[in-house]
Structure 1
Amino acid sequence: MMKKQIWIALLMGCLVVVSCTKEIKFTGEQSRNMLVINSLVVADSSVIQAKVSHSVFFLNAHSSLKIIDNAHIEVSVNGEKIGTMTFKGSVNEEAVYEIPHTVRSGDKIRISATCSGYEAASAETQVPRSTPIVAVDTVTKKGNYGINKCLCVNIVFSDNAAEDNYYQVRVKKILWVRSQEDTTKIMRQVYNVRLQSEDVVFGSSANKDNPIFGYNNKIVGVFDDHLINGKDYTVKVFSSEIFGGSSVAGRNDTLEVYLNNVSRDYYLFQKTYLAYINNNDFSDIFGEPVQIYSNVVGGIGLVGGVAESKETIVLKKR
């Protein structure tokens, strides 16, 4: 009798679940697809490249993206049209367009795109001037609570007081390894290092320990010069992803340390993108939603400028 009552209860439960299941159709206005343009124009490069795709309505997010191989993309430098970009292929469902041109610091670049079925989109930026790195040094320290070792990277530079400057710090780890299939072959591996910092130039949130997990895990990358205008300064970053180096067939593992000057547009994009990443790593459950910056009119994306300054140091065995 008891088993019969249990089965009746289960059956009633299933009926309740089925009766409560209802398909709700989306009745709002479906947003139109827009062109997505991303281009980082690098000083002293010989090519201007843009990656083009299109936005997708959220209910169609799982559909495959169409490769935009028929866009008409014009490029102007300092107010003069230099030509039309050529489609070169696709990478990760993004169409790649290029035009040969030697980029100079101070150039004002405008990229304008049209394509059948999409609103015309355009963006412009100015390529900044680079700031030389005066010196780079490293020191190893224990991480928070002595759990991990971190390598601290200190970058010395002089800020130019005559203009507003926006900076990006990047570190790449270059490793040399022997191929497992053929030990006579030596391969070069490049890794982008996730950086953290307690330096005030990255903002107050960078140097605060997380209230839930108890340690600083915010990723940093860009800063402006409003606190250091016209001064000599040492910006400090660290990472637990940098371990002691080795040597393979006379090739030493190295760090490539970049202090890049970036356009204001690229700075705002990176700042909001990193805020989005830091808010979505589940370490700040009370974080506010972050809208990622875009400077593309009539579309989405970012056209920015960068001038690189790089120093290479050998990773010592530790």
Structure 2
Amino acid sequence: MKQKYHIYIFLLLTISVSSCYKEIDLDKYRTPPKIVINSAVSPDNVIIASVTRTWFYPESTPYVKLPHAKVELYINDEYIEQMTWEQYDKDDTSSKTPDSVFVSHVTPKAQDRIKIVASAEGYETAIAEETIPNGVLILKTSYNNITKRPNPDVTYIGPDGNIVEQFIYEIEYDITFQDESETSNFYALTILRKKSYSWGDSFYQNELQSTDPVLSENTNILDGAMGFDGLDTHSFLFTDKQIAGQKYTLNLKEICNENPDNSTISIYFYSLSQSYYQYILSIQKISGSTLEGALGNLGFGEPIRIYSNVEGGSGILGTCNISTKKMTIHYNESSTQ
């Protein structure tokens, strides 16, 4: 991380040498607000969409909800209904402007073409359209090895005042699936762990690592070389461009900070629409620790733009299909499984 720090200092010094001050009238750059549609659609739920508006930076506390918008739903080019504005969490009374969404009464299915048309007085009509991909089943899962090693980054002092050694547990997984050959496919993979205690259940996501060429296709070798951590470490985004039409076994490793014995993992395998994949990837590049994102933020590279498939507005209509597999982990000091 020290190398990464020095890179930032060098870039900031470079900017300061050539900087000058100029008063900028931001209102001169103000553009008319646009409708924003954000919706993630799958066959697991009714179709829900957040419909808001864009806002300009000088607005300190903007109200961006559009409860009186007209939001129309089409499936396979057939008009279905006008979606209804509702408070997202009806039990939430903590906010004067609670989260709100537009809700339909329809649960879609794979290969349905979803279209949402949002209009409101004073705004250009926004249209988003996307097809729900087929689901891809997880055929087989296994964990092959659990490695225990000291954790030098965590120090715990016991009741007696002595240091209690902490450990890291590395669990290797194999996950097998069959890719469809007819189309280009886009995927995401993540793992949710559940551990039961006397006081209840705890759910959390650990860091995931992999050298699998399929899972590593979005990894930029320059990130590690230049001291950056890369994209989100709790999930993988990947495509089938290396394995089109094949049965393939993904190999990855989960990093746990506590003994995983008798914990249950849920493996979530997402089939994503191309637009949803590109949207998530652009978000990860901006929010993650990447050289590309750092250079863009500092003005030394092309800024990363959040991907949108909304015509006449902004946001994303993403579609996905989810396959889930659960597995219980058994581990003790004398056995790896």
User: Does the pair score TM above 0.5?
Assistant: yes
1:163 — aligned with what? 183
Q: Which of 101, 105, 111 in structure 2 is aligned with 1:106?
A: 111
User: Which structure has the bigger radius of gyration?
Assistant: 1
Residue number in structure 2 paired with 1:244: 259
Q: Are residue 232 (structure 1) and residue 247 (structure 2) matched?
A: yes
In structure 2, what is the Cα distance between the partners aligned to 1:242 and 1:262? Answer: 31
Alignment of 1:131-170 (within 5 A): 131-138=136-143, 139-141=145-147, 148-170=168-190
Call closer, same or farther: CA 1:254–1:33 in 2, change over 3 Å.
same
- Alignment match, 2:266: 256
Rate the CA distance shift 1:122–1:196 in 2: closer, same or farther, 3 A. Answer: farther
TM-score, scaled to structure 1: 0.77
Structure 1 distance, partners of 2:53, 2:195, is 36
Structure 1 window deviating more from structure 2 (32-41 vs 303-312): it is 32-41
When structure 1 is superposed on structure 2, of 211-220 and 288-297 the one drifting more is 211-220
Gaps in structure 1 of 5+ consecutive residues: 1-19, 180-185, 247-251
Aligned partners of 2:77 and 2:131: how far apart in 1?
Answer: 12
Secondary structure of the 2:29 match is: coil
| 2:236 equivalent to 1:221 | yes
Segments of structure 2 that go 5 or more residues without pairing to the other structure are 1-19, 90-96, 154-167, 333-337
Distance 1:206 1:52, change over 3 A: same
Aligned to 2:13: none
Which residue of structure 2 aligns with residue 182 of structure 1? none
1:314 corresponds, among 328, 333, 336, to: 328
The residue correspondences of 1:153-192 to structure 2 (distance < 5 A) are 153-179=173-199, 186=200, 188-192=201-205
Cα RMSD (Å): 3.1
Within 2, Cα distance between the matches of 1:284 and 1:264? 22
TM-score by length of 2: 0.73
Partner of 1:77: 75
1:303 corresponds to 2:317? yes
For 2:312, give the aligned amino acid.
Answer: G
Distance in 2 between residues matched to 1:276 and 1:154, nearest whole Å: 30
**Residue in 2 aligned with 1:272?**
282
Alignment length, in residue pairs? 283
Q: Which residue, 78, 81, 86 being the options, matches 1:88? A: 86
Q: Is 1:53–2:52 an aligned residue pair? A: yes
Amino acid at match of 2:29: E
- How far, CA to CA, are the matches of 1:131 and 1:85 in structure 2? 30
Which one-letter code corresponds to 1:300 in the other structure?
S
**Matches of 2:315 and 2:121, distance apart in 1:** 19
- Give SS of 2:28's match: coil
> Is 1:197 paired with 2:210?
yes
